[in-house]
């Protein structure tokens, strides 16, 4: 498999098909060139935002992304990046440290305001009713997909996804080959996808008919 | 709609990343790639959603099938579930569960955490004895945890300790809860680790 690396990365929306010149980019940032910093932001902002959101949630995301970029730029300007070609790895290291730091801050803040005996409510994450409804809908669709497969297949998926048993253990105990195991997962995914499409097309048709009726009445 | 991903990262790698099962070198390479590949970011997001839905659905199905099986039950095949059932029964004794004669079967309540959002309130019927199963995924591993039930105002109504089993903590409430909203708090090492909403209707 051709694993992507810094050398063969081609940015999707750079406006040109040339590879990123990491050395040139680092040199421009070290020289304080604003265009260099803009390019750094253009190359990495989506990925940094994605990573931080996935690890920490959507709260105060803009600030966290901004803080991360400030740290990266300052570190580059201080000469902490020894090899320009390792810029992706360097950014990843900074982002992971930021995640650890934000978690530490959150835990500390929670400890300071928490008082279990007096009953202070400390939610785990913020509530998002819309997202909750979407999650429940997906889970319901998945439940339908799973109830349509055999108990044994369900047990295999339970061991892998819920009990987090390694594939090798499951295959050994359930007497499956690696291929059979992968096939089962693919079938479950395909079944879920089919049910989802069916439901989507039903709800699209329903919306279409409702709109059409409304137009006809007027 | 997923962006077209020009790289050749396999679905297997994406799924293993989402399940936290990539080894350190592979993890490093993939995360560096993820920083700069919108296609793979979309794939990870889709995989996260799929896995979350799968876990929720499997827990629901498991909770509904929690009653002991009939004569065709093969104990050798269902050993892990048997062990979990024995542990749950032992825990019920540990928390001095007493069921007055004539009570209905206990009602299983799964308390789950969903990535990115507060755990949605679980629902339970009033007048039923409740068996709470709290999800311990992504929490630090400890030999025991504490569960506390608080009313809507935050006053603690009941608490007990329990030992985890296969990534979950199961406790049986010794008394029924009146209709209303409650908070189920999971504590470990003296710290509040997770809080779940519970609606009794």
A64 or B109, higher pLDDT: A64
Residues 144 through 183 of chain B touching chain A, CB cutoff 8 Å: 148, 150-151, 153-156, 166-167, 183
pLDDT at B42 over 50: yes
- What distance in Å separates residue B22's CA from the closest CA in chain A? 12
Q: What is the CATH number of domain B75-200?
A: 2.60.40
Three-state secondary-structure class, residue B15? helix
Contact A89 B32 (CB under 8 A): yes
Q: How far is CA B73 from CA A143, B65, B67, B79, in A?
A: 23, 13, 12, 11
pLDDT at A18: 42
The beta-strand segments (E) located in chain B are 107-111, 122-124, 130-135, 145-151, 156-162, 168-172, 180-188, 191-200
Reported confidence tier of residue A196, pLDDT bands at 50, 70, 90? confident
Contact B55 A162 (CB under 8 A): yes
A174 to chain B: nearest residue by CA? B77
Interface check for B48 against chain A (CB to CB < 8 A): the answer is: yes
pLDDT at B94 over 60: no
Q: How far is CA A67 from CA A61, B33, B70, in A?
A: 10, 21, 59
Which segments of chain A does DSSP mark as H helices, in order?
A: 22-30, 34-56, 61-77, 87-113, 129-147, 151-157, 167-174, 178-217
Percent of chain A at pLDDT above 90? 50
Contact B195 A147 (CB under 8 A): no
- Give strand pairing partners of B182: B151, B198
- What are the residue boundaries of the structural domains of chain A, listed by start? 22-113, 130-217
ipTM score of the complex?
0.78
Query: What's the residue count for chain A?
Result: 218
pLDDT at B175 over 80: no
Distance CA(B121)–CA(B197), nearest Å, equals: 4
Instruction: Please choose, from the candidates B49, B35, B29, the residue with its C-alpha nearest in 3D space to the C-alpha of residue A46.
Output: B35
DSSP class of residue A161? I
Q: How far is CA A88 from CA A64, A75, A84, B114, B168, in A?
A: 18, 14, 9, 30, 38
- What distance in Å separates residue B106's CA from the closest CA in chain A? 23
- Give strand pairing partners of B147: B160, B186
> Domain A130-217 falls in which CATH fold?
Arc Repressor Mutant, subunit A (1.10.10)
pLDDT at A187 over 80: yes
Reported confidence tier of residue A192, pLDDT bands at 50, 70, 90? confident
A interface test, pick of B12, B25, B41, B54 with most A CB neighbours within 10 Å: B54
Contact B195 A116 (CB under 8 A): no
pLDDT digits (tens, 9 = 90+) for B7-21: 789 999 999 999 999
Instruction: Please choose, from the candidates B58, B53, B43, the residue with its C-alpha nearest in 3D space to the C-alpha of residue B7.
Output: B43
pLDDT at B189: 67
| Range list for CATH 2.60.40 in chain B | 75-200
pLDDT at A86: 93
B24 or B129, higher pLDDT: B24
CATH of A22-113, one of 1.10.1740.10, 3.30.9.10, 3.40.1390.10, 1.10.3860.10: 1.10.1740.10
pLDDT digits (tens, 9 = 90+) for A66-120: 999 999 999 999 999 989 999 999 999 999 999 999 888 888 887 777 655 444 4
- Residues in chain A within 8 Å Cβ distance of B14: none
- What distance in Å separates residue A214's CA from the closest CA in chain B? 30
Burial label, A53 (beta-carbon count in 10 A; 0-12, 13-18, 19+): middle
Give backbone dihedrals phi and psi of A139, rounded to 5 degrees, phi first.
-65, -35
Three-state secondary-structure class, residue A122? coil
Distance CA(A18)–CA(B188), nearest Å, equals: 52
Distance CA(B146)–CA(A151), nearest Å, equals: 34
- Concatenating the DSSP letter of every residue in A123-159 gives -SS---HHHHHHHHHHHHHHHHHHHTS-HHHHHHHII
């Amino acid at each position: 498999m051709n694993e992507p690396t810094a050398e063969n990365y081609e940015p999707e929306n750079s406006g040109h098909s040339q590879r990123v010149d990491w050395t040139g980019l680092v040199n421009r940032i070290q020289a304080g060139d604003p265009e260099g910093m803009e390019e750094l932001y253009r190359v990495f902002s989506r990925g940094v935002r994605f990573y931080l959101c996935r690890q920490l949630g959507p709260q105060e995301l803009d600030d966290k992304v901004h803080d991360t970029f400030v740290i990266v730029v300052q570190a580059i300007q201080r000469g902490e990046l020894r090899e320009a070609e390792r810029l992706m790895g360097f950014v990843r290291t900074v982002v992971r440290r930021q995640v650890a730091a934000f978690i530490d801050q959150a835990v500390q803040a929670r400890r300071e305001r928490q008082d279990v005996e007096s009953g202070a409510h400390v939610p785990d994450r913020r509530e998002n009713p819309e997202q909750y409804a979407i999650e429940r809908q997906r889970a319901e669709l998945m439940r339908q997909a799973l109830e349509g497969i055999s108990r044994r297949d369900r047990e295999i998926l339970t061991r892998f996804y819920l009990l987090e048993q390694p594939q090798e253990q499951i295959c050994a105990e359930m007497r499956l080959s690696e291929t059979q195991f992968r096939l089962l997962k693919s079938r479950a995914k395909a079944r879920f996808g089919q049910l989802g499409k069916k439901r989507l097309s039903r709800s699209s048709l329903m919306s279409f008919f409702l709109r059409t009726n409304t137009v006809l009445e007027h | 709609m997923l962006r077209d991903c020009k790289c050749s990262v396999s679905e297997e790698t994406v799924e293993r990343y989402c399940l936290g099962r990539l080894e350190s070198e592979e993890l490093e390479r993939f995360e560096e790639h993820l920083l700069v590949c919108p296609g793979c970011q979309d794939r990870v997001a889709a995989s996260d959603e799929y896995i979350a839905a799968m876990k929720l659905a499997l827990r629901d199905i498991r909770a509904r099938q929690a009653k002991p099986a009939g004569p065709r039950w093969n104990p050798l095949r269902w050993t892990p579930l048997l062990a979990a059932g024995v542990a749950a029964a032992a825990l019920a004794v540990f928390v001095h569960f007493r069921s007055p004669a004539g009570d209905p079967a206990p009602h299983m309540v799964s308390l789950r955490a969903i990535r990115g959002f507060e755990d949605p309130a679980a629902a339970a019927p009033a007048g039923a004895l409740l068996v709470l199963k709290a999800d311990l995924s992504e929490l630090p591993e400890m030999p025991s945890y504490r569960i506390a039930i608080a009313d809507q105002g935050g006053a603690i109504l009941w608490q007990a300790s329990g030992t985890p089993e296969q990534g979950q903590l199961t406790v049986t409430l010794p008394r029924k809860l009146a209709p209303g909203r409650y908070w189920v708090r999971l504590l470990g090492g003296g710290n509040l680790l997770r809080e779940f909403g519970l609606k009794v209707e």
